[in-house]
Amino acid sequence: MEYVSTRGSAPALDFRGVTLAGLASDGGLYVPRAWPSFSKDEIAALAGLPYAELAAKVMQPFIGECIAPDRLLELTNQAYGRFAHKAVTPLKQFDETQWLLELFHGPTLAFKDVALQLLGLLFEEFLKNSDQHLTIVGATSGDTGSAAIDAVAGRDKIDIFMLHPKGRVSEVQRRQMTSVIAPNVHNIAIEGSFDDAQAMVKRMFADTAMTDRFRISAVNSINWARLMAQVVYYFAAGVQLGAPHRKVAFSVPTGNFGDVFAGYVAAKMGLPVERLVVATNVNDILHRAISTGDYSAHGVTPTDAPSMDIQVSSNFERLLFDAGGRDGLAMADQMKSFEASKAMQLTNTQRDGAAALFTSARADAGQTVDAMRWAWDNCREVIDPHTAIGLHAALETKLPAGVPMVTLATAHPAKFGPAVEKAIGEKPVLPPRVGDLYEREEAFSELPGTYEAVAEFVAERATPSPL
């Protein structure tokens, strides 16, 4: 399998190359040159497999010869062996049409663990016979940070620098990151929003003063391997609900557009997907882009779903590239102009390509609370505010008769205890695996929201690596 950049001028790489690179050298994101596809029989044969086996089968075409099938299965068994639920991503039924796909049974209680537990192992696998050292620079609005840190803390050939927007993540989210004290873990609180942090991360990939000395890589969903691992649970849920003989719809709480893009990839591979619903909070750039073609950032408003407080959604570029005809140089121009003005209009081809599969909906604070109450009152199910935004969108969406709607439950409610308690009067309890969180010591650095401050901080602490 070969990967190409959405901006058309970076070299094509294999799976090992894109995993270690993170972002393409032309500023674009890597995507497979062509989508692999499964026949109906191959999809039917996935039903009933243990999650780790299903994952290895779904991911093997993306990995090609970079990892042998037996070895990949060992890695998926190891990655998903740490999950607290045997099914890894269990599916629950709300009513005749509404389902919930629980993605928060990993070590840090959010869907990020599904991909990052594997990514930590992939980094190690690809570094084991080399003298290279990775410097991971990441941005988090709360959940990627702890999941990535859990996946790489203490690993020999990796340093991780994780930027979070100061005061804009929940207390549980912050403690989950900052209470991991290890010599290779560097937590940084910056002044500004997640968008500011993500822009700094991308800038570092283009800064030759840094890339000439350090082997910079990514754990955010700009890294293709993250998305690849997220494709798996769409297949897992789809076959449980009757795929390939029945279509399934998914409602996905969305911020950086990684999770829902993984659903698009599953559909490209042959999973019969009726609809992908892009659910946003009031930071609704993606809702506006999908419903009207207007992709313009209006500044970030803090909400009770802080992980979705994002206005510049990295992976939207992957969709615009693929649905817009895969013209890398045109994409590079479009993105450069967006980076300068923070506004752009989708082309007709991009809009039509997106409309074939995606619809969108937006939930404000009241609607988010109503969805948490709906789940509690009707099903005695406690859901977190991000999942509630997905559920709100699912309940608003009209589907053909017989098509099940699956809302992705992206975080455990205890990560956002105060907001959940305010909505339904029940205080969600932290699971035992993180039960001692409030007793742990925290360590993090605070920096102003400037690229120079962050680059200097990283350069002083990272391990130089031969190129």
Ligand X SMILES: Cc1ncc(COP(=O)(O)O)c(C=O)c1O
Which residues contact ligand LJ64HWYM (rule: CB under 6 A)?
140-145, 194, 220-221, 255-256, 258, 307
Which of ligand X, ligand LJ64HWYM, none sits in contact with 145, Cβ below 5 to 8 A by type?
Answer: ligand LJ64HWYM
Which member of 178, 179, 240, 256 binds ligand X (CB under 6 A)?
Answer: 256
Span interacting with ligand X, options 2-10, 72-80, 256-264, 445-453, rule CB under 6 A? 256-264
Which of ligand X, ligand LJ64HWYM, none sits in contact with 140, Cβ below 5 to 8 A by type?
Answer: ligand LJ64HWYM
Which of ligand LJ64HWYM, ligand X, none sits in contact with 186, Cβ below 5 to 8 A by type?
Answer: none
Which of residues 275 and 386 has its CB atom nearest to ligand LJ64HWYM in the complex?
386
3-state helix, strand, coil in the chain (%, to 5): 45, 15, 40
Q: Does residue 368 bind ligand X (CB under 6 A)?
A: no
Q: Does residue 250 bind ligand X (CB under 6 A)?
A: no
Is the bond preceding 244 in cis, omega lying within 30 degrees of 0?
A: yes
Which member of 107, 258, 263, 353 binds ligand X (CB under 6 A)?
Answer: 258
Which of residues 168 and 351 has its CB atom nearest to ligand LJ64HWYM in the complex?
168
Q: Does residue 115 bind ligand X (CB under 6 A)?
A: no
CA–CA dist 414, 427 (Å, integer): 8
CA–CA dist 333, 352 (Å, integer): 20
CA torsion sign for 405, 410, 414, 420 is negative
Which of ligand X, ligand LJ64HWYM, none sits in contact with 253, Cβ below 5 to 8 A by type?
Answer: ligand X
Q: Does residue 221 bind ligand X (CB under 6 A)?
A: yes
289 CB-contact burial (10 Å; exposed 0-12 / middle 13-18 / buried 19+): buried
Span interacting with ligand X, options 5-13, 183-191, 257-265, 418-426, rule CB under 6 A? 257-265
Three-state DSSP class for residue 111 = coil
Q: Would you put residue 343 in left (φ > 0), alpha (ψ -120 to 50) or beta?
A: beta
Span interacting with ligand X, options 65-73, 87-95, 247-255, 359-367, rule CB under 6 A? 247-255
360 sits in which H/E element: strand 358-362
Smallest distance from ligand LJ64HWYM to CB 96, Å: 31
- Rounded to 10 degrees, what is the CA torsion of 168, 150, 153, 17? -100
Residues in the chain: 467
Which member of 234, 257, 316, 321 binds ligand X (CB under 6 A)?
Answer: 257
Give me the catalytic one of 40, 86, 92, 112: 112
Does the annotation mark 422 as catalytic?
A: no
CA–CA dist 163, 148 (Å, integer): 12
Which of residues 38 and 224 has its CB atom nearest to ligand X in the complex?
224
- Give φ, ψ of 220 to 5 degrees: -70, 175
- Give φ, ψ of 250 to 5 degrees: -130, 140
Three-state DSSP class for residue 100 = strand
Q: Does residue 303 bind ligand X (CB under 6 A)?
A: no
Q: Does residue 223 bind ligand X (CB under 6 A)?
A: no
Q: How far is CA 52 from CA 57, 173, 230, 359, 382, in A?
A: 9, 27, 13, 31, 27
List binders of ligand X among 128-187 (CB under 6 A).
Answer: 142-143
Catalytic site positions: 112
Return residues touching ligand X (CB under 6 A): 110, 142-143, 221, 253-260, 307-308, 386, 410-411
